[in-house]
Copies of this chain bind each other. A is one copy, B any other.
Amino acid sequence: MRFTSLADMNCSIARTLDVVGEWWTLLIVRDAFRGTRRFDDFQSSLGLARSVLTARLRRLTENGILERRAYQERPVRYEYHLTEKGRALLPVIAAMLKWGDDWVPDQNGPPTVLVHETCGETMHPVLTCPHCEGGVTTSNTHTEPGPGHRPASSAIPSAPAGQ
């Protein structure tokens, strides 16, 4: 029920959460960014039961975030690769990595660092405006209704259920 409501909300953040708003989704995507491709490797990273991981990989495949590619014929076995839609989640993952490093840090420092191969530096990406190239922060940014905005009375077709 709940996901129908999220998907129907007049908000791109809500619709994103409808697809990736369960913690395990983004951890599977995280592993895929690190190069994990095979079922057993996802399983050893995430510690999930096989049946649970099978269902989650199927959902990510159905949602077009991962695609299956056979890497062996008899018996057929598949690897899971990020699609363009899946790779487009990098900014979400990178933003969570930085927030975690800053606000819920490990006492020994970041467990994982991002390396920008262009310059070789370890970094957290910063948000920049594509027009003026200036920094984007809460103090210089605001939201406005866009072309797809609907009046508030129809913004949420039904209250999220099961909460």
A interface residues with partner B (beta carbon < 8 Å): 2, 6-7, 10-24, 26-27, 30, 33-34, 44-49, 52, 82, 85, 87-119, 121-134, 136-138, 140-150, 152, 155-156, 158-160, 163
Complex Cα spacing A103 to B116, Å: 25
Inter-chain contacts of A46 with B (CB < 8 A): 156, 159-160
Q: Residue on B with the closest CB to A43? A: B159
Residues of B within 8 A of A123 (CB): 129-131, 136
A143 partner, pick from B22, B34, B100, B129, beta carbons under 8 A: B34
Chain B residues in 8 Å Cβ range of A118: 129, 132, 134, 140
Quick check: A13 and B27 within 8 Å, CB to CB?
A: yes
Cα A111 to Cα B163 in complex, Å, equals 25
Q: Can you name 14 A-B pairs with beta carbons within 8 Å?
A: A11-B112, A13-B30, A14-B27, A16-B103, A16-B104, A20-B96, A48-B159, A90-B127, A105-B148, A112-B145, A116-B129, A116-B131, A119-B131, A128-B133
Tell whether A100 pairs with B141 under 8 Å between CB atoms, given A6-B23, A129-B125: no
A119 touches B134 (CB 8 A): yes
> Which residues from chain B contact A158 at a C-beta distance below 8 Å?
47
Which of chain B's residues have a CB closer than 8 A to the CB of A24? 160, 163
Chain B residues contacting A143 (CB-CB under 8 Å) are: 33-34, 112-115
